[in-house]
Structure 1
């Protein structure tokens, strides 16, 4: 369903308990409010406090897992920037991981990773947040780190760090904007939708020229203005107590000085007097038309009705746009969305056309489809479907402390009320059919829009209309910038030694999920666990088929079959199936992967019986209609043709072909080839289903708030499933390309180069054997943010947004792969540094300090492994897939604790033979050819199919 996920669910209103004497003042902070859970209602209980310096603190206690989530959200995003100074908020997201007075360079990531946690930061138009999820005994570490970069950052921000992160941001822009198909769509649409100077008229990541012009002092001024504690919310959710959190919050955050006062910005909706046409050429295959109508800001009284309108127009398979454009086969993709931010919003209509389509005709058809809404109207079923799906997706977000903490932080930041959930529920649940019709007339019908024609290079003849609007970008003579002279950095004063890193408490006891097993007479093996944190059930059925058991002549057939199984059954059309599932807030889908076909079923427990009736239809009675096959086949062929527009995909495909040899199925993309898919028939798909969609060898995983005795009778329909046993077809011996060479593919004009380095080995998946030990060995080479490869290429050199390496294996042998997208000017240098790090690690091994880090990180991260239903299902599935004993986790722990630096060194020497590796580069030949030819390797040019030219 194409709908925005809202941080709320259907629930009874929670009881808000205020202190009878008003806010309760304590030393250093004030208690503001407490929300408690009453009965079986679904609510996020919390306590809210405010430190004397203005920092808001929210604490949610959840003792179900030994995990804690810490979030610091600053009410500052790109909307707080100024004309000509774009990208500062996002730039600071990077800088705040670069160390502070008491945290050394690159130690923030290292400290959290060593503690067994995960972390990140994100920036959008309206806010920046930083977050960690860790074992609960590491709470103090997280608060120490977050407080240090809030209050003790600026003296540690050096020109060198500034330049490295500027290069990293440029690489990020290259990877996610310039080198990605349609990556510039949002940027150019917003330039036309919002007037010059509007905070949403520039991209969050910023413009390259403005990043180049920024100075270190500019960045420091931005921090001083917006990153004070009184413009932030600290949220702690998990296995903690409020008293514990507040003592630590007071200790670490209390001394930080209050920052300048910050006021909420007024809503600034876009206004258009007439249609604005703009166009853009890019290295794409499919012309795209997007029409954007100004709407409203987030939480405006009309937002909920607009969301439902966008779903009716372009949400699921019953929507107008799906029926008119996708089901009919006229267009490749069609969607409608209503993204709303704090200051403004817009409803966006997007059609992705087949090659050669004239977008003038597309615009006519798009407008006609919008007009059909008046004929169709709004039904009770429309509202029921939306609200049911809305309820289910929200409840599923409550399955993790991160999900609950994020909701609290968002509500507090944007409304000042962490308990805003009641109002949010009401505005969605109270939407009527009349409301939806009203907002259609007020914001869409006959209203001007921004129309973007996004076309392949050299095909401006396809645009909908000549450009009639040229945006003003950046600073002009009339631009007035803020004066930051009044701001000064006043370092906080402590009464303790902040340089002493806190010691964690005792490591928490991690309980591996208890589970039950079952084996059905038809061959299905099942495993499940009961969890009562949320009222949902997730069911996963996997079959050992997928791409691996295809032939090259029929490559892509499992993917097509899975797509066909999502297109209706003998008793339900695709639209009817979609409608019935949406009414329940449930999902049933089939997908195909490298070694499995998977059926995923998720539902609220109260709707399980009806959902399983529909799942039975999907599994046992697919319709396999000729018209659906023709449409999906056409889409598959276009997707295959489009792969050559994506440098990362070209590099991965070429590496596979060069590694396996052209006669091996794994050398061929799982989507198939033009030849294999073109030759495919519906009868082939039916034959594949009859042969391989069999219960023999199928694995069933169940996670939910029902016991074995409660759930198994509901799954009796699976006993009706029949089929024969089968094995994977035998594959030829590997016939990979000659190692020790660079295989280069030209992608003219590529903004970045894609690098792949690796080789095939004989390791199969073994969680307690050589494969597991190899993954331990690789962890410090390229398996985490602070690995040697990533620190070198990203943090020290600024060549990439991220570089990694890993060992991969399944039931069949895999191999080792190192990879990155790098700035094209540093292609040769990046390859050199990759090889330097791999060779050095193999020659010299790991240091004692690094090994201690690896052991701490991997040991303590186990606390995070079983929190959500998805994580529990993954654990159970591994047990079934590889016939593991439940105690394998304990064996892994013993291996990890006993492994020595000498053993790591021997593993590195054995499993990192660069002389056996092939090197693949996809990039702009004019830029990189000369440099890579100076590295001392034979350079072999290959074509887009991986064949040597």
Structure 2
């Protein structure tokens, strides 16, 4: 992932630390930062340690200063390819063992690659720290002996599948790639995609990859960052033991900053399988941490940073676009100023007219200038997002690693606050004049297939053909032998497991029969509140599905006292959020605030909750945007699969057969009076529950929530379900997506609803070896062995009244049949042969150790409390689950499998190119039904 996408994301990911919020009783000059220890091993490895004993977990990050910018023309995708290869075992770690060991420890792990760096990270209970250091050091120093041609070919297929799933088979998936090709000259480190070109991946061999590893993955080009419940001295000793003997790699110099300039604008048109025409202007600017980065970020926020922005007013409120935004994503070597909009084809389908609106907005900004509220909003958002970033050890570790890698200084928290606080109105206007006004840009039009007349009417720029040089033979990079003082083949022992208990919480009532659960925690000066009203979309009339969702969206708009822009401005200046949404079984109101601003934030909540204006203009705008968004969703293969699955399982007589937001037809039926009636009938606390977590005592919470006592109760009933469709045997439902390079497959049936300690809980235990984790049978077969997919799984998903069992993934179109056959075979074999002793032991270990990670953040604590309320559970349910896990036998697991795995009765839903797929699927011997998921 690229580091920054505009000011909002930049602030969210770069500002972390330990702070006391500014306020009447706080030191206004207090510096905010992350306490850490930094040192360097003799081999050049930089080590950063951060101690946080609030939860019994540790987060370990290894960041290598190598991304796609270190590649050369014709050999793109190496850094990302190596992200995959680093999980395929090393000299002392077997293939797939890294995933298995972290999963068995109850931990999480992954890796990411962007233009400038690659990182690998794990979060585990604290007693597994030594084991993770052993794993990470082994792949740093001993990866290549385990790299084989077979693994290389397998991961090449996996990367190609990932590209197909995330880029080639997604609407607008080529947007960034085409923009970079036009913006940067050939050979520029950002002119090719991080994931690489398929032809480049096909061109190289295993020796090329080995040479790339030897060049860039030495300890002197890495930062090891460890945070959490650690003993500093012991951690230093382990780091020295496991990483100290690894020799330095070749010396690495920073790449020169390479911002680009354009002599004239470049206009591109891309035809895609989309409904909404798309326009993007991209201006080259500076580089990350350049003095002008901060004012450019502020400029982006003023122009297109939400409801308070000029873009929102001119393009979204006017109905010309479904979405419009401005951002300033920055990378190590160069930044881009991006303006983008999804056109509303019912109002402004021609992108040439929209392009003129962009320029009119620039002219308006020049006349308007920078207003005081603009800077106040930005600076308050920095303070709020800084404080919220303190909630996770992983976030703090990630930012320490970022600061060290790119600035040579781990803790950039105060420096970032200072540089944004220093931005003036004059700075913003200066960077606008310098980098944007009358400057050339890359202008990309994405239009529906065969509708190029909708594009910006300018001479088209042709992206030059790639000039691939002849490559010399791979140059061998010498490696110094590693001499250890210990037996590296021995897996380090685990320490004593931490004792984890569920969060202490208090319980009371705000008004009769409305429970309020809370957790008081002073780790960060933040408060999160949720009010859940049961019913949500289930209360929609069947012919007006989407009414609950539309009502929630209207609750986010104007009140009788203030416009939606005024409300958005007030919330931004508080650094707060008040958001209404409706999904699943609930309408939910989410509130987040730093502690000192909670009273003012709750005043806005009450204004929104009790005084919605329900303006015709707001309704018409939201309805049109939603209708266009629904039509666009029908171009997304995963959305089509989800829509088909619900319709097939639950039938047209049931509300649950349709998306939360409704369909084009049902949403068209909704009028403003329907919204008003829904609010009047169902926005009351008859079936409400409230959860509050953060830096707030019970007594203060009750006092601040006292206005809810005036909320009148009006009982209502949630409609019962109509009869669900019954099928004697499983069928194939084929949804056509012409030209799809992948097929989305779901093998599915209805199953039981959620329970905490009964049949559903045991079913999830049973499924764990089959498809419930990375090393499960289904994923290892279809991803790691066959190379048909980027990932495949199976799962039970249950709510309060309904549940499903499903398996599937996104598969190469030519391998659709084989993929389905393998899923069915894995199910049948598991049902027949049962769980192995090794799988049972692995299951018990993974499920019993992961609770150390379950309650770290306020959001996790809030999820736990909502779970208790929704399912009417006592907090001791987790102890009951632990007893079940510890005592369950293979025989019990196998009985559950025999009862619940019925592959012959499961429907097979396939979204892909029907013309090519239908002959394949006929070999399954099942009835094939063409299903229209777009209605």
What is the TM-score of this pair, normalised by structure 1?
Answer: 0.95
**Do residues 799 (structure 1) and 788 (structure 2) align?**
yes
Q: Does the 8 Å CA contact 1:101/1:155 hold for their aligned counterparts?
A: yes
Tell me how far apart the structure 2 counterparts of residues 736 and 75 of structure 1 sit (CA, whole Å): 56
**Do residues 944 (structure 1) and 924 (structure 2) align?**
no
Tell me how far apart the structure 1 counterparts of residues 17 and 926 of structure 2 sit (CA, whole Å): 65
| Residue matched to 2:435 | 443
Determine which of 359, 368, 374 is the counterpart of 1:376: 368
Distance apart, 1:481 and its partner CA: 6.2
Q: Residues 745-784 of structure 1 correspond to what in structure 2 (within 5 A)?
A: 745-761=735-751, 763-784=752-773
Structure 1 pair 940–400 and aligned structure 2 pair: CA distance change class (3 A): same
Distance apart, 1:847 and its partner CA: 0.4
Determine which of 695, 698, 703 is the counterpart of 1:708: 698
Q: Residues 628-777 of structure 1 correspond to what in structure 2 (within 5 A)?
A: 628-761=618-751, 763-777=752-766
Q: Residues 327-366 of structure 1 correspond to what in structure 2 (within 5 A)?
A: 327-355=317-345, 357-366=349-358
What is the TM-score of this pair, normalised by structure 2?
Answer: 0.96
Q: Does the 8 Å CA contact 1:229/1:256 hold for their aligned counterparts?
A: yes
Q: Does the 8 Å CA contact 2:634/2:934 hold for their aligned counterparts?
A: no
| Residue matched to 1:839 | 828
Structure 1 pair 197–138 and aligned structure 2 pair: CA distance change class (3 A): same
Tell me how far apart the structure 1 counterparts of residues 447 and 748 of structure 2 sit (CA, whole Å): 36
Distance apart, 1:941 and its partner CA: 2.0
Tell me how far apart the structure 2 counterparts of residues 512 and 221 of structure 1 sit (CA, whole Å): 49
How big is each residue's C-alpha offset from its partner over 1:365-413, in whole Å with a ceiling of 9 and x where there is no partner? 1111122111110012111101111221121111111011011000000
What SS is found at the alignment partner of 1:398? helix
Q: Quick check: 532-541 or 522-531, which moved more?
A: 522-531
**Do residues 4 (structure 1) and 9 (structure 2) align?**
yes
What SS is found at the alignment partner of 1:438? helix
Q: Does the 8 Å CA contact 1:789/1:804 hold for their aligned counterparts?
A: yes
Tell me how far apart the structure 1 counterparts of residues 728 and 318 of structure 2 sit (CA, whole Å): 47
Tell me how far apart the structure 1 counterparts of residues 661 and 861 of structure 2 sit (CA, whole Å): 29
Q: Does the 8 Å CA contact 1:753/1:921 hold for their aligned counterparts?
A: yes
Distance apart, 1:835 and its partner CA: 0.5
Q: Does the 8 Å CA contact 1:8/1:425 hold for their aligned counterparts?
A: no
| Residue matched to 1:904 | 893
**Do residues 263 (structure 1) and 253 (structure 2) align?**
yes
Q: How many residues align?
A: 921
Tell me how far apart the structure 2 counterparts of residues 220 and 649 of structure 1 sit (CA, whole Å): 39
| Residue matched to 2:3 | none
Q: Does the 8 Å CA contact 1:177/1:183 hold for their aligned counterparts?
A: yes
Q: Quick check: 490-499 or 479-488, which moved more?
A: 479-488
Q: Residues 423-822 of structure 1 correspond to what in structure 2 (within 5 A)?
A: 423-476=415-468, 479=469, 485=475, 487-761=477-751, 763-822=752-811
Structure 1 pair 222–474 and aligned structure 2 pair: CA distance change class (3 A): farther
Q: Which runs of 5+ in 1 are unaligned?
A: 15-36
How big is each residue's C-alpha offset from its partner over 1:703-762, in whole Å with a ceiling of 9 and x where there is no partner? 01111112211111111211312221111121145532211122110121010111112x
Determine which of 831, 850, 866 is the counterpart of 2:839: 850
Q: Residues 403-414 of structure 1 correspond to what in structure 2 (within 5 A)?
A: 403-414=395-406
Distance apart, 1:486 and its partner CA: 5.0
Structure 1 pair 10–163 and aligned structure 2 pair: CA distance change class (3 A): closer
Distance apart, 1:920 and its partner CA: 0.7
Q: Does the 8 Å CA contact 2:116/2:332 hold for their aligned counterparts?
A: yes
| Residue matched to 1:161 | 151
| Residue matched to 1:26 | none
Q: Which runs of 5+ in 2 are unaligned?
A: 1-5, 21-26
Tell me how far apart the structure 2 counterparts of residues 842 and 96 of structure 1 sit (CA, whole Å): 33
What SS is found at the alignment partner of 2:713? coil
Q: Does the 8 Å CA contact 2:753/2:799 hold for their aligned counterparts?
A: yes
**RMSD across aligned positions (CA):** 1.8
Structure 1 pair 604–191 and aligned structure 2 pair: CA distance change class (3 A): same
Q: Does the 8 Å CA contact 2:18/2:390 hold for their aligned counterparts?
A: no
| Residue matched to 2:122 | 132
**Do residues 888 (structure 1) and 877 (structure 2) align?**
yes
Tell me how far apart the structure 2 counterparts of residues 591 and 854 of structure 1 sit (CA, whole Å): 36
| Residue matched to 2:262 | 272
| Residue matched to 1:199 | 189
How big is each residue's C-alpha offset from its partner over 1:631-675, in whole Å with a ceiling of 9 and x where there is no partner? 111112112222321111111111111111221111112111222
Tell me how far apart the structure 2 counterparts of residues 237 and 491 of structure 1 sit (CA, whole Å): 30
Distance apart, 1:780 and its partner CA: 1.3
Distance apart, 1:881 and its partner CA: 1.1
What SS is found at the alignment partner of 1:186? helix
Q: Does the 8 Å CA contact 1:658/1:736 hold for their aligned counterparts?
A: no
Tell me how far apart the structure 2 counterparts of residues 848 and 824 of structure 1 sit (CA, whole Å): 36
How big is each residue's C-alpha offset from its partner over 1:806-859, in whole Å with a ceiling of 9 and x where there is no partner? 111111021211120111011000000111111111111110100111110111
Tell me how far apart the structure 2 counterparts of residues 435 and 812 of structure 1 sit (CA, whole Å): 57
Tell me how far apart the structure 1 counterparts of residues 15 and 332 of structure 2 sit (CA, whole Å): 21
What SS is found at the alignment partner of 1:197? coil
What SS is found at the alignment partner of 1:332? strand
Q: Does the 8 Å CA contact 1:289/1:350 hold for their aligned counterparts?
A: yes
| Residue matched to 2:911 | 922
Structure 1 pair 921–480 and aligned structure 2 pair: CA distance change class (3 A): closer
Structure 1 pair 708–482 and aligned structure 2 pair: CA distance change class (3 A): farther
Q: Does the 8 Å CA contact 1:660/1:736 hold for their aligned counterparts?
A: no
What SS is found at the alignment partner of 1:696? helix
Tell me how far apart the structure 1 counterparts of residues 121 and 467 of structure 2 sit (CA, whole Å): 34
Q: Does the 8 Å CA contact 2:270/2:446 hold for their aligned counterparts?
A: yes
Q: Quick check: 339-348 or 814-823, which moved more?
A: 814-823
Tell me how far apart the structure 1 counterparts of residues 101 and 629 of structure 2 sit (CA, whole Å): 42
Tell me how far apart the structure 2 counterparts of residues 41 and 548 of structure 1 sit (CA, whole Å): 49
Tell me how far apart the structure 1 counterparts of residues 882 and 501 of structure 2 sit (CA, whole Å): 14
Distance apart, 1:483 and its partner CA: 7.6
Distance apart, 1:925 and its partner CA: 2.3
